[in-house]
Chain A
């Protein structure tokens, strides 16, 4: 059974702090990993993708991948109230469909 797991939250952090979102997956053959942000009542929006072990930074966002541990994370530095949303982890491999995690709800407190 291919699964992607995330803590459902809510994860509450104060404004300006680092928010750390975690995701584990069961399919060792997974090759691509994505983080989607979904505001309440809106559609998922891609914010980060990562394909190889290590860190990938984009502005205030850093994605971290450890394939040996089957673990991917998203760090949000200098968290803002506008970052409050549900963050969905998605995993796939060539020719396979995306498998989405249940999402972690993040609340950034002003």
Chain B
């Protein structure tokens, strides 16, 4: 299994530009999560999907952030317009279900720098 695949690994952009992060979950995993990690706030859940449907987006910081999952093997997280405070590492993770013993598998992350 290839694991959770994210792209790009690094993204450097200027304030005001649109940024799109991509994720391919592990095949057969019904849950997909987007996390953001910063030194100050640690690992924060932004949004998660179950069977391609967004279930909880309460962690999305503001309307500039949006996420989609058009099919079981692909999800995007978009920031438009981007701001310097969005600079962080964005992780995608997937799991098979929400049973208590079900583990999260993380992708390698996207290091986003907004100048």
Cβ contacts under 8 Å, B45 to chain A: 97-98
Which residues 18-52 of B sit at the A interface, judged by CB distance below 8 A? 33, 42-43, 45, 48
A-B contacts at CB below 8 angstroms, number:
45
Contact yes or no, B56 A103, CB < 8 A? no
Kindly list chain B residues whose C-beta atoms are within 8 Å of the C-beta of A32.
Answer: 100-101
A31 in the interface, Cβ–Cβ < 8 Å? yes
Q: Is the interface of A mostly helix, strand, loop or mixed?
A: loop
- A residues near B (Cβ < 8 Å) are 31-32, 34, 42-46, 49, 51, 88, 90, 92-98, 100-103
For residue B49, give the distance in angstroms from its CB to the closest CB of chain A: 12
List residues of B whose CB falls within 8 A of some A CB: 33, 42-43, 45, 48, 56, 91, 98-101, 103-109
- Contact A44 B43, beta carbon cutoff 8 Å: yes
Residue of A nearest to B104 (CB): A98
With A44-B43, A101-B42 known, 18 other A-B pairs at CB within 8 A are A34-B104, A42-B108, A43-B106, A43-B107, A44-B91, A44-B104, A44-B106, A46-B104, A49-B101, A94-B100, A95-B98, A97-B33, A97-B45, A97-B56, A98-B45, A98-B104, A102-B42, A103-B42
